Structure 1
């Protein structure tokens, strides 16, 4: 599941860079991408990702098992 978080960041970046709807300007998409990635890397974003079942990459690398607590 750790690769899924990297994949999520990658998908957000690609969507905002090239695959965004035509009514969004490139600058708006870039700002949205920056905002969304910063949120997901924040404490609140990490809590949100944990509610979806994702764990931080460092937690898995350290050998910690994902916890069911949110």
Structure 2
């Protein structure tokens, strides 16, 4: 059964938040994105987790 877009959004956000919580307080690698802007390993991992959830539940996202 397909979940609604709203339900999927919450599910993806919760999965990303779980990654950030799990990495909280740990030393994190900083990745320089541009002058004055960076991401951490937690940011990258959370983003990848969110995308995995979206792709798993909306498989056609991989086709675009």
TM-score by length of 2: 0.44
TM-score by length of 1: 0.41
Compare relative contact order (CA 8 Å, sep 6+) and give the higher one, 1 or 2: 2
Q: More strand by proportion, 1 or 2?
A: 2
